[in-house]
Amino acid sequence: MSEPTGLLGEVFADLAARHPASLRGAQEARAIEPARFDATAERYLGWLRKARGDAWLTSSVNAYVQFSTDVIFAQADYEDDGAYAHDSFAKAHAEVYSQRHVMDEYLWGVYLTNFLWVHHMEIMRFFQDRFLAPLPANAHIVEIAPGHGGWGVWATASRPDVDLEGFDISPSSIAIASSIANAAGVSDRVTYTLRNALDLAVMPEASADAVICSFLVEHLEQPDQLFAVIGRILKPGGTAFITGALTAAQVDHIYEFRRESELIVLAEQHGMRVRESLSVSPQRILPKAKFLPRSMAMAVTRCAHGFW
């Protein structure tokens, strides 16, 4: 396998020079399908450089390493305690979401995990092949909690026929996702609004051809409410891409999913059928771990006739 070039080459070189302990995971992610990884990374990094300017490399690599380190520390604490650190949205909001600087760096770190974490790169492939490619022409996508914007912007940049409306509770998310959309040249088809995802229950029923909701469910006290919203706004026959974290700690993860079936049942209870799913764990976990951290993605369809 050849060495990475371009912007990705700069990221790998910076990791090797300043954070060698964090390089191996990125190398593992690339090794699975190097050509596709490189293309995905170059696109994401190109937007990142435009959005953040000349200081993009050092600041973004720092954010990635900080976020990844925080996650491993949280997982180690979870192994010791047997439970996530917080169980209320209010605590997560106080520590993360309401802290603008913390939230900004957090989001840039998460942005890079979309491809630098091997299991997230697997989810990214699922997103591209199993959700995005089969979407009908001119689909109207609603993105719930876009965070850094990397999923929805990827969708609109890959499919010039679709448009996207995103809602997030965090001003940092709105600002960063908007900057990524601008950098990708899709801001004419993307709008972001500051709004609680659960308030979307007032949106017109069956108004979306597709929904993207990535890694939100584990941040909620009552994930059931989110699935109710998705099931309501999705048109019959419409598709949602939903991801969640299972037994995977993070400072702001508050709902502990232990089994993949829990997410599937939530979708089914709200009128959706899981067409395909993928659950992936990192290649390396803490030694003697009691919990296997996983990321799960589902492509679900809103049933038109009850059972299907």
Cβ-contact 86, 122 below 8 angstroms: no
Q: How far is CA 130 from CA 204, 245, 277, 297, in A?
A: 26, 19, 9, 10
Nearer to other proteins, 76 or 202 (CB): 76
Q: How far is the CB of 176 from other proteins (least distance, A)?
A: 21
Instruction: Quickly tell me which residue has 């060495």 as its tokens.
Output: 3
Q: Nearest-CA neighbor of 248 among 78, 95, 44, 119?
A: 78
Q: Tell me which residue has tokens 């508050």.
A: 254
Which range in 44-52, 82-90, 159-167, 283-291 contacts other proteins by CB under 8 A? 283-291
Smallest separation (angstroms) from other proteins to the CB of 116: 11
In the list 65, 92, 184, 240, the residue contacting other proteins (rule: CB under 8 A) is: 65
CB 75, min distance to other proteins, A? 8
Cα separations (Å) of 215 from 144, 235, 259, 277, 290? 10, 22, 15, 14, 22
Q: Does 62 bind other proteins (CB under 8 A)?
A: yes
Does position 99 interact with other proteins (CB under 8 A)? The reply is no
217 and 84 in contact (C-beta within 8 Å)? no
Contact call for residue 100 and other proteins (CB under 8 A): no
Place of tokens 């650190």: 85
Instruction: Provide, rounded to whole angstroms, the least separation between the CB of residue 36 and other proteins.
Output: 23
Residue (109 or 152) nearer to other proteins, CB: 109
Our finding on whether 303 is near other proteins (CB under 8 A) is: no
Burial label, 8 (beta-carbon count in 10 A; 0-12, 13-18, 19+)? buried
In the complex, minimum distance from the CB of residue 53 to other proteins, in angstroms, rounded to a whole number: 22
User: According to CB under 8 A, which one of 12, 48, 56, 68 is a site residue for other proteins?
Assistant: 68
Q: Which of residues 15-34 bind other proteins (CB under 8 A)?
A: 16, 18-22, 24-25
3-state secondary structure of 228: helix
**Given 33, 43, 57, 69, the residue binding other proteins (CB under 8 A):** 69
Q: Exactly one of 33, 42, 70, 268 binds other proteins (CB under 8 A); which one?
A: 70
HSE value, Cβ hemisphere, 13 Å, CA-based, for 22: 25
Q: How many residues bind other proteins (CB under 8 A)?
A: 21
> CB of residue 144 vs other proteins: minimum separation in angstroms?
29
Binding piece for other proteins, criterion CB under 8 A, among 58-66, 169-177, 267-275, 294-302: 58-66
Nearest-approach distance from CB 206 to other proteins, in angstroms: 44
Separation CA 106–CA 245 (nearest Å): 17
Among 258, 259, 284, 290, binds other proteins (CB under 8 A): 284
Rounded to whole angstroms, how far apart are CA atoms 197 and 191?
15
CA distances for 112 relative to 151, 182, 265, angstroms: 12, 18, 30
Residue 158 is a binding residue for other proteins (CB under 8 A)? no
What minimum distance in Å lies between the beta carbon of 18 and other proteins?
7
Which string of DSSP letters, residue by residue, matches 32-67?
HSHHHHHHHHHHHHHHHHHHHGGGHHHHHHHHHHHH
Distance CA 95, CA 127 (A): 30
Report the nearest approach of other proteins to the CB of residue 156 (Å).
32
Please tell me whether residue 286 binds other proteins under the rule CB under 8 A. Answer: yes
User: Footprint of other proteins on this chain (CB under 8 A)?
Assistant: 16, 18-22, 24-25, 62, 65-66, 68-70, 72-73, 76, 284-287
